[in-house]
Each structure stands twice: as structure tokens, then as C-alpha cells.
Amino acid sequence: MSLVNNDISYKGYSGSIETNIEDQCLHGRILFIDDLITYEGDTVHSVVQAFQDAVDRYLAYCARTGKPANKPHGGTFNVRIGKDRHREAAKCARNKNISINELICLALDHELHHSKVS
């Protein structure tokens, strides 16, 4: 389990931790999946435990019912870039003797590792 920027992870799933001042509790949800799964707690320790319990219950439910569990960040995604950008990307990839997929990965790596995030 790790905590980064109020996001936690467990068994490959990410979760949020948010504060509700009015109710004086911490709460969150499992991120990046289609199903809505929430949890809450009164302390950081209890909300982290609630997150881990929610992941375990979700995986157990999916196994019991035969429903495939949503896998966050499966490694593929579709993006609409428009005809002109697609054409330019194909030309650029051909000139570099790489696939469009590799070109996109290189561009993402550059953006993720070399750009300053505000």
C-alpha cells in the first residue's frame, strides 16, 4: 500500500482520500474503474483499511458472481486525434522508422517525465 497526493494504492487499484469537514470524516472511492465503490473512515488508518477492504470485497464479489473485475490502467486506450494529426504522426513515425504506437509512447514519456506539472 502506498500514499501519493492523497491517493492510495492496493492490489493494483488506486483510491482517493478526501475530507468532509461537515461530517468530520474521511471518504474516497476506487479510481479509474467503471464501477462506483466508495469507503469512509474517521482516521487516516481507518479510511486506508476501508479502502483495502473495499478492494478485497470487490474482487471477492467479482470472483463469486463471475463478473470480470475492472482492471485499472490496462495498458491500452483510444484517443481521437483527427485526420491531419494522424497523417502527420504516421509521417513522423515512418521517418523515424518506428510505429505510430511507439511514437505516441515516446511523446507521452517526454510529457510525463520532462514537463513540469503545475
In a domain, 77, yes or no: no
Residue 116 has pLDDT above 70, yes or no: no
Residue 4 has pLDDT above 50, yes or no: no
Q: What is the pTM of this model?
A: 0.67
Averaged pLDDT for residues 49-77 = 92
In a domain, 73, yes or no: no
Burial class of residue 65 in the structure, from the number of CB atoms within 10 Å of its CB (0-12 exposed, 13-18 middle, 19+ buried)? exposed
Residue 1 has pLDDT above 70, yes or no: no
Domain identity same for 50 and 97: no
Residue 53 has pLDDT above 50, yes or no: yes
What is the per-residue pLDDT for 104? Answer: 92
In a domain, 101, yes or no: yes
Residue 47 has pLDDT above 90, yes or no: yes
What is the per-residue pLDDT for 96? Answer: 93
Domain identity same for 12 and 51: yes
E strand spans, 2-68:
2-4, 7-10, 13-16, 18-20, 25-31, 38-41
Domain identity same for 9 and 59: yes
What is the per-residue pLDDT for 75? Answer: 79
Domain identity same for 58 and 108: no
- Residue range(s) defining the domain that contains residue 108: 83-114
Domain identity same for 11 and 55: yes
In a domain, 70, yes or no: no
Residue 33 has pLDDT above 80, yes or no: yes
46 is written with which cell numbers? 481507518
Mean pLDDT of the chain: 89
Domain identity same for 17 and 52: yes
